[in-house]
Amino acid sequence: MKVKHLFVLMILTIVSCQKDPKKALTQNKLITKNQQIAEVEKKATEERILHTDTIRISENKNDVISHIFANLMKQEADKDSIVTSTFRLDFFKGKTKISSSTVAIPYYEKNSEWGGSLGLTNSSNKNSSFIKIDVGYPACGYTFSYYLFYLKNNNLQLVHEWQAMSDSGWGMWTEFITDDLDKDPVKFYCKTVSLEPDDNDLEDSGVLKYSDSTLFSLQGNKWKKKLLSAKEKPYYEKRTTATAFYQQN
């Protein structure tokens, strides 16, 4: 009788041992699935897009990109109530996403407009790996943010960023200088130009200033930049009039 009870107990133990691994495996799968769902939900929350603008660049199928989606990801205010807007820029060629980059813009104005073009300068070959993007509120006196990207072999680099403003002929902007207009250069320069009215009684009288002379050189597949003048300090200054300045340019 004792032997029979012992035999039954052994069978129950074996059955129990056989069921436990299956139960544990099911629980592990459930935990893993819940973790995956949580990760997806967290990623979706982190990447929630507040607004999207489309920047149309080119309809030429041979160009590096066709358009860019500017996705507003978040807006944060600092202790001085200055709001910084963070955008994820998605670069597309047709329906294929090539690359992405993130930019943070302080003082971003609602209803600002985005623009973009290919080429380092207005005279450059448009079949270029340089992509210039600008954003700002379309009215005099508002500051625009500019970004110069370089896209080669699907590798994207933010080469330079700057700001510009124009109001009734006066303002501040960045000029790029290169000798290679028919192809992308391996070296180029830029400088900040400002044309400001002075204290003279003449309405058209002002001061022309150059600052932040910068050298850009292609090293391997990356652009390096070197400041050639003192940061934010004019290295050239000349009294002129707005009329004379625009006539010679």
**Residue-averaged pLDDT of the chain:** 86
| Cα distance between residue 116 and residue 67, in whole Å | 9
Is the pLDDT score of 50 beyond 80? yes
Lowest mean pLDDT among 16-20, 84-88, 98-102, 195-199: 16-20
- Are residues 89 and 100 in contact, defined by beta-carbon separation less than 8 angstroms? yes
CA atoms within 13 A on the CB side of 215: 6
Rg of the chain taking only CA atoms, in angstroms: 30
For position 126, what pLDDT does the model report? 74
For position 162, what pLDDT does the model report? 98
CA atoms within 13 A on the CB side of 228: 16
Is the pLDDT score of 5 beyond 90? no
**What is the band of 33 on the pLDDT scale with cuts at 50, 70, 90?**
low
Residues 28 and 133 in one domain: no
Residues 190 and 210 in one domain: yes
Residues 60 and 39 in one domain: no
| 3-state class (DSSP) for residue 156 | strand
In this prediction, residues 67-93 reach a mean pLDDT of 96
Residues 2 and 83 in one domain: no
Residues 154 and 119 in one domain: yes
In this prediction, residues 119-136 reach a mean pLDDT of 90
In terms of pTM, does the model score above 0.75? Answer: yes
Give per-residue pLDDT as tens, 204-214: 899 999 999 99
For position 9, what pLDDT does the model report? 41
Output the CA–CA distances (angstroms, integers) from residue 36 to 30, 40, 238, in the order listed: 10, 6, 64
> CB 70: neighbour CB atoms within 10 A?
19
For position 17, what pLDDT does the model report? 44
Number of folded domains in the chain? 2
| Domain enclosing residue 20, as ranges | 1-46
| Cα distance between residue 120 and residue 128, in whole Å | 8
Residues 81 and 16 in one domain: no
Residues 165 and 212 in one domain: yes
Give per-residue pLDDT as tens, 149-186: 999 999 999 999 999 999 989 999 999 999 887 889 99
Task: Report the run of H or E that residue 155 belongs to, with start and end.
Answer: strand 155-167
CA-wise closest residue to 175 among 121, 225, 117, 98 = 121
Residues 146 and 23 in one domain: no
For position 23, what pLDDT does the model report? 56
For position 154, what pLDDT does the model report? 94
In this prediction, residues 76-89 reach a mean pLDDT of 94
Residues 11 and 60 in one domain: no
Residues 97 and 15 in one domain: no
Is the pLDDT score of 143 beyond 60? yes
Output the CA–CA distances (angstroms, integers) from residue 184 to 43, 65, 146, 220, in the order listed: 38, 16, 19, 14
In this prediction, residues 139-156 reach a mean pLDDT of 96
Is the pLDDT score of 35 beyond 80? no
Residues 177 and 238 in one domain: yes
- Angle at the Cα of 38 from the Cα atoms of 35 and 42, rounded to 5 degrees: 140
In this prediction, residues 117-140 reach a mean pLDDT of 91
Q: Which of 46-55, 114-123, 225-234 has the highest mean pLDDT?
A: 225-234
| 3-state class (DSSP) for residue 203 | coil
Residues 38 and 86 in one domain: no
Is the pLDDT score of 7 beyond 50? no
Output the CA–CA distances (angstroms, integers) from residue 88 to 1, 158, 183, 199, in the order listed: 78, 13, 29, 43
CA-wise closest residue to 70 among 89, 46, 84, 49 = 89
For position 153, what pLDDT does the model report? 93
**What is the band of 45 on the pLDDT scale with cuts at 50, 70, 90?**
very low
